[in-house]
Amino acid sequence: MTTPTCIALPKICFERGFLADRAKLVRDVVIPYQWEALNDRIPGAERSGTVHNFQVAAGEKKGEFYGLWFQDSDLAKWLEAASFSLATHPDPKLDAEIDVVIETIAKAQESDGYLDTYIQLTAPDKKWTNLFEWHELYIAGHFIEAGVAHFEATGKRTLLDVVCKLADMIERVFGLGEDQNHGYPGHEEVELALVKLARVTGEKRYVQLAAYFINQRGSEPNYYEGEYVDHGLEKLPVYFYHNRWAYLQANKPVREESDPIGHSVRAVYLYTAMADLALELGDDSLREACNTLWKNLCKYHYYVTGAIGAEWNGEQFAGRYDLPNDRAYAESCAGIGLIFFARRMLDLELRGEYADVMERTLFNNVLAGMALDGTKFFYVNPLEVRPEEAKRRYDQKYVKTERVPWFGCACCPPNIARTLTSLGHYTHSVLDDGLAVHLYTDCSLETNVAGTKLSFAMKTDYPWDGKVSVEINPANATTFTLRLRLPGWCDSPTASVNGEPVDIAAHDRHGYLHLDREWQAGDVVTLDFPMTVQRIRAHPHVYHDIGSVALQRGPLVLCVEEIDNGDQLGLLRLPKTAQFTERFDADLLDGTIVIEAEAERLKPVNDELYSSAEPEVTLTTIKALPYCLWNNRGEGEMRVWIRES
């Protein structure tokens, strides 16, 4: 499981509602579609080559390697998503497809445990020689995660045995021994995966291997400097220039890092593993480093949509407060990695701010990465798009103005799939003395709390409506603490137990409502988080957003689109006195809230580039919809931040 406090996926059921619909879409459409993509059977889509590469490495067919040096990881993430799906919804056909591809993977694996088709098919004499650029350990991490998920879902050891053999080889190769490689991953991932492997196998040596990689990172002499010289490289890629090895989070030891830096996905995968190890080893220095990195990430590098990673050149963090909108990279994988980090931080300390970030990032940045039909995807998630400019400008060359069927670099689509098939790992925590609710969604679950079997049912239309009803049914009357997140966006929550009002302020502990009592079958907790349209303003140092507001209702950030508001969205102004109306349109975009307000539109009075004449102001009505739903009605302009007048 993702963390020790997670509820096993078969024990939780998402029956209806916003998140349940997305999870069902992944099961019914996305997983089969992505399997076709990985087998190069999607007309008009970029070729994957992923399954082909394993078949060639396994000797099942003739051919050459196709794709990028980390292409293998796409299959690993798909396997993890498919395994999570099997855990909650058994499917004999999918189960059989997985068995066949696992057999191919096992045949491709070398006798010593090595597994990386790019190296095996193109440079078999170069294993482990280019860690800063090639992704052998990153790929290993994703396969380890897939092996753990498959074992937990099916009880089969077929893939778990493959990844244990791979992990054992890594343990032999890497370490501080005289004859060992003293390096560490160029792209972090294996560290968090090794912790998962240790938890499922009971082999604590995998935790120690993860700790080696974390502790060795950024130490002196810098491993990558030696590798750089050994390869005879004349210069590093341009995105290394600002701070050399900081791009790989290897410019200093991890405990000395204070500000997120470098490639954003690598960074949050690293921070996730650091939090894992802080918990596993009781390492207070790692915990403190995680706290500092979390604080500065959220304070300086965090988009209103929950995205991170502003800089397209190197897919990395920009400087403090540098959060451009039209050229935002805001990668789906980075958002998913931030969710991983937030979930681990909740295990270190139950604080509402971690779940708030998890929710904002999931509901906005991550869900925007997939079309409502489940067959098209975004890699990059900007907060402003003008198609004509995006197609012309070099600094927006990665921005897609419409979702696409597949990518040559397809890390994001299967990452979204594995996240949405494992939602149960993020919604709740089982603690020694009770249960915590992090995300609100219609669901039911069974678990053991305080030594007693507990059935728990939550009914809600969240995120469209803030009313939540929770029914508690312990097998026997039992005393435990129910902790319910108080969303940071809500100013005036209310709660009651069996109709009796609860004093929120008296029971608020770091953003969670603590209800400590003897619970009996049929007890009902009622929550109400009033949802009104809020104007969100950025810190003045975020110069891209000066004089503008973002609109938010509940956890959903809103945007305006050309199809509803005409082109030249930058000419819209929202008066400070404007009042909002809202309605739910069941026929629009599978059902969505629609926000409208009286606004202004600027109109040029002449064709001069510069003029002392003031533009004409006309009245109009703006229509705003959830950002996560944008571009499901064709290509057009989109904008999150609206100028205020």
* Of 290, 411, 412, 628, catalytic: 411
**In angstroms, what CA-CA distances link 567 with 228, 388, 614, 627?**
49, 11, 20, 17
* Of 315, 359, 384, 600, catalytic: 315
The pair of three-digit structure tokens given for residue 10, joined into one six-digit string? 């078969």
Residue 598 CB neighbours (<10 A)? 15
Q: Give 506-512 contacts, CB < 8 A, sequence gap 24+.
A: 509/350, 509/483, 510/349, 510/350, 510/351, 510/352, 510/353, 511/351, 511/352, 511/353, 511/355, 511/356, 511/485, 511/486, 512/350, 512/351, 512/352, 512/436, 512/483, 512/484, 512/485, 512/486
H helices, E strands: number in the chain? 20, 22
Q: Quick check: is 315 catalytic? A: yes
| Closest by CA position to 257, among listed 292, 283, 233 | 292
Residues sharing a CB contact under 8 Å with residue 526, sequence separation 6 or more, in sequence order = 467, 468, 469, 470, 495, 496, 497, 499
Q: Quick check: is 411 catalytic? A: yes
Q: What whole-number distance in Å separates Cα of residue 553 and Cα of residue 536?
A: 10
Do 136 and 116 contact (CB within 8 A), yes or no? yes
Do 538 and 491 contact (CB within 8 A), yes or no? no
Chain centroid, CA 179 distance in Å: 38
The pair of three-digit structure tokens given for residue 310, joined into one six-digit string? 């502003």
Chain centroid, CA 497 distance in Å: 34
CA neighbours within 13 Å on the CB side: how many for 547?
7
Residues designated catalytic: 315, 411
